Amino acid sequence: MKRISAVFLAAALFVSCMSGKASQLKLWYDEPANQWTDALPLGNGRLGAMIFGTPAGERIQLNEETIWGGGPHNNVNYAAKDGLAEIRTALFEGRRSEAQALCDRYISSKGAHGMPYQTAGSLLLDFEDMEEFSDYYRELDIERAVATTVFKVDGVEYKRESFVSFPDEVVVMRLTASEKGALSFKASYSLPYRQDRITGGSAKPGSLKNSALLEVSCKGDDHEGVEGKVRFTNRSLIVAEGGSVEVSDNAVNVEDANAVTIYISIGTNFVNYKDVSGDEKRAAALPLAPFESGKKSYKGMLDAHVKEYSKQFGTVSIDLGTNEQASLPTDERIRNFAETFDPQLVSLYFQFGRYLLISCSQPGGQAANLQGIWNESRQAPWDGKYTTNINVEMNYWPSFLCGMPQTFEPFLRLVKECAEHGRESAEMYGCRGWTLHHNTDIWRSTGAVDGAYNGMWPTGAAWFCHQIWDGYLFNMDPDYLEEIYPIMKSACHFFIDFLVPEPENGYLVVAPSYSPENAPRVQDVLGRGNITTVYGATMDNQMLFDLFGNTIEAAGILGEEALFVDTLKNIKKRLPPMKIGRWGQLQEWFEDWDDPRDNHRHVSHLWGMYPGYQITADGTPELFNAVRTSLEARGDASTGWSMGWKVCLWARLLDGNHAYKLIQDQLSPSGRGKGGTYNNLFDAHPPFQIDGNFGCTAGIAEMLVQSHTGSIMLLPALPDVWKEGQVKGLMCRGGFVLEELTWKEGKPVTVKIKSTVGGDLEVSWNGVQKSMETVAGKNYTINF
Ligand code: FUC
């Protein structure tokens, strides 16, 4: 492959593209993708595609959100209740190494440890004589959710336009050329599975001329003793204008066409986490039928797609300024960002986070997993499943805040289904209610996996409940509250039964548990170290305080049982308080074990500040300072998601410059021992993990507006470098929408807030507070 004058064309195209403000929301490159993390992601929630844009060998890597290994099952260990007393005794006597070994024996899953999210393979397009090209340019327009590649070969201009249609449920690529008859290629599937059958549909579809079908059916893998039950069918319709289309050797050959449109549909037999009785072939055929019969064509499709997508994307805009950096290719900007001021890259990254969540999480579908929906392998890192001790929750931090409440529905359903299946996890400890441990998957498995060191954490239900309650604070919708209350109440039942008094003060603690994945740097009474298993970890205490408090509030609003509320109040009083340790830090554990040299990626004990709201500058100034001491010691550089979390934490610490420093760390190429950002703006743990994108997106919003204290704080953590700017459409707790916030010299000049449910509105900036009563549906202008 040779690049000729690519930069010139890119520059020329770019000038024409940059003429409108809208065009700033593009990722663009002057060369094809060399690796998967250079390719551009498209998705409509259910279907995903990665577009490589290689002239001679185009690759459309495909995903469908329900293609997972295994089948309906759970992985709980009912021996847990037999071992609980012995484990607790060992823990309370300081024999933590023994307790951890006993957890492995009694509690860790003896069956599967979670099923993998799997690829749907790729559609490959092989072109002859396209190795040499010039004037190369490819982009992802996140305002329209369309990827475009253009280049020249022998004076002919080629264009490929791709999107995953929201209304039509197909992946589409339209190939055109500036001369007639210039398109000749072979299309074939490449899948890493044993392929049940590839049919090059010899029958021409419907009445369409010059077209062919290519279909392949496969099965998800057996995994850890669980039989693969997901079957999927991948069906492509290739329609040429001019030239000819032939089917041979499991491939479709297109010769001398003027233009070609490829429509790809994927169907599975997945119905829900208990049911795989669907018909994958029918599911794949349905969306394609109108195109096969010629009733529908490409015409009008793109407009319909853009219209539906932009309804969701267009709710929020952001402007942090721009400069000459914005005219460079995106990969170059990422390489420059830590050293060079490029405020528009932050806006682009923020909007890209919104683009990704809209593209991988839509009502009725699956929640965004560790890779959203984009995965090229049979076994993604960490199986691409749902890690519940930070990662899946982080995926949903921007949902409400960043004006995309509809993206939250798949997460709410995941929580509901875990609350059903997680009854088995409560039962395994002999408790009522429900819980889950540090992982789940499409089968809503709720057992303790990956061994006690990594997975002995029975508190997943509490974090899930925090997040669904937080959704209520944003939407203030009484029907939504009715829907989530039983889930919260049932989680409380589990903890009422599971909590146990610790021997020293009789505080009620979660035991056994851990502070996610971190081992205190101390030895136990047996002289052994590197043990994570503990009781009364700070994050657990904070989360239970939150769960009981929120459930009491919810019960109050709904007029639920007074007796139950009293029980919760009494238990809440007996939870351990947060403690400040010997070097002024917020203690991570029940004991003062924190090591100031510990730079572990998890910052679990700071949960009470973010995503929780227990620690605030005005409400708990000493704890607030202790959080800062802890976070400073933990350091900045870390995995991608850890840095995203730290952006949020520094924003809550009201330190905009430090939050900005973390954005600089995150928006740089990943390096040794540190995460960062890939060329396609995907977050690098490394490897690719989408949570970091979402954590940082939420963090950028938190720098501009916060609403967790009962009042709306404007510009609470504005870095010095964002002197002026504007944001529109962020959502605030209490049912408010920040319709516009424009600032100059760090001071708000236009503030418009819409009240969606009425009620008291308190807005503050820099210590100045304004209060008013509001009426549902009205807009309010506030002057500072
Ligand atoms: C948690 C983290 C890891 C990784 C994994 C998917 O276990 O500690 O860093 O993100 O989830």
Phi, psi of 433 (to 5 degrees): 75, -150
Query: Are the C-beta atoms of residues 135 and 150 closer than 8 Å to each other?
Result: yes
Q: Residue 716 has what pLDDT? A: 98
> End-to-end CA distance of the chain, in Å?
58
Query: Are the C-beta atoms of residues 740 and 750 closer than 8 Å to each other?
Result: yes
**What is the CA(387)–ligand 1 centre distance, in A?**
7
Distance CA 345, CA 83 (A): 53
In the chain, the percentage of residues whose pLDDT exceeds 70 is: 96
Across 98-102, average pLDDT: 98
Six-digit token pair at 224?
Answer: 């850890």
The lowest-confidence range among 18-27, 105-114, 460-469 is: 18-27
Please tell me the residue having the least CA distance from ligand 1 atom 1: 387
pLDDT at 458 over 80: yes
For 682-714, write each residue's pLDDT tens digit.
Answer: 999 999 999 999 999 999 999 999 999 999 999
Across 708-737, average pLDDT: 98
The helix or strand, by DSSP H or E, that contains position 291, with its residue range, turns out to be helix 280-292
Atom of ligand 1 nearest to the CA of 438: 7
Atom of ligand 1 nearest to the CA of 516: 8
Six-digit token pair at 499?
Answer: 């909590």
Q: Residue 194 has what pLDDT? A: 77
DSSP 608: G
Distance CA 423, CA 414 (A): 14
Across the chain, which distance is largest between two alpha carbons, in Å? 84
Q: Residue 548 has what pLDDT? A: 98
For 383-416, write each residue's pLDDT tens digit.
Answer: 999 999 999 999 999 999 999 999 999 999 999 9
For 236-283, write each residue's pLDDT tens digit.
Answer: 999 999 999 998 878 999 999 999 999 999 999 999 999 999 999 999
pLDDT at 6 over 90: no
CA distances from 271 to 21, 219, 370 (A): 43, 15, 22
**What is the CA(695)–ligand 1 centre distance, in A?**
14
**What is the CA(454)–ligand 1 centre distance, in A?**
9
**What is the CA(603)–ligand 1 centre distance, in A?**
12
Please tell me the residue having the least CA distance from ligand 1 atom 8: 517
The whole-chain average pLDDT of the chain stands at 95
Query: Are the C-beta atoms of residues 126 and 186 closer than 8 Å to each other?
Result: yes
Phi-psi region of 200 (alpha: psi -120 to 50; beta: other; left: phi over 0): beta
Please tell me the residue having the least CA distance from ligand 1 atom 11: 387
Atom of ligand 1 nearest to the CA of 389: 1
CA atoms within 13 A on the CB side of 713: 22
Distance CA 153, CA 502 (A): 74
Atom of ligand 1 nearest to the CA of 685: 10
**What is the CA(438)–ligand 1 centre distance, in A?**
10
471 contacts: CB under 8 Å, gap ≥ 6: 399, 400, 405, 408, 412, 480, 484
**For residue 363, how many other CB atoms are within 10 A of its CB?**
12
Across 612-637, average pLDDT: 98
pLDDT grade for 209, boundaries at 50, 70 and 90: confident
SS (H, E, C) 218-268: EECCCECCECCCCEEEEEEEEEEECCEEEEECCEEEEEEECEEEEEEEEEE
Q: Residue 279 has what pLDDT? A: 98
For 160-185, write each residue's pLDDT tens digit.
Answer: 999 999 999 999 999 999 999 999 99
For the CA atoms of 295, 268, 44, 140, the dihedral, rounded to the nearest 10 degrees, stands at -90
Ligand 1 pocket list (CB less than 6 A):
370, 382, 387, 391, 517, 601, 639, 641, 685, 689
Query: Are the C-beta atoms of residues 750 and 319 closer than 8 Å to each other?
Result: no
Angle between helices 478-498 and 409-421 (to 10 degrees): 40
pLDDT grade for 311, boundaries at 50, 70 and 90: very high
Atom of ligand 1 nearest to the CA of 517: 8
For 527-583, write each residue's pLDDT tens digit.
Answer: 999 999 999 999 999 999 999 999 999 999 999 889 999 999 999 999 999 999 999
pLDDT at 721 over 80: yes
Q: Residue 201 has what pLDDT? A: 57
Across 503-515, average pLDDT: 98
Across 474-483, average pLDDT: 98
Residue holding tokens 């001021």? 341
Distance CA 638, CA 660 (A): 15
pLDDT at 205 over 90: no
DSSP per position, 461-495: HHHHHHHHHHHHHHH--HHHHHHHHHHHHHHHHHH
Six-digit token pair at 699?
Answer: 């963090």
591-617 core/surface letters (b: 16 or more CB in 10 A; e: else): eebbeeebebbbbbbbbbbbbbbbbbb
Across 470-481, average pLDDT: 98
Distance CA 69, CA 37 (A): 23
**What is the CA(616)–ligand 1 centre distance, in A?**
27
For 614-625, write each residue's pLDDT tens digit.
Answer: 999 999 999 999
**For residue 267, how many other CB atoms are within 10 A of its CB?**
25
pLDDT at 198 over 90: no
pLDDT at 15 over 70: no
Q: Residue 371 has what pLDDT? A: 98
Distance CA 303, CA 290 (A): 17
In the chain, the percentage of residues whose pLDDT exceeds 90 is: 93
Atom of ligand 1 nearest to the CA of 387: 11
Q: Residue 105 has what pLDDT? A: 98
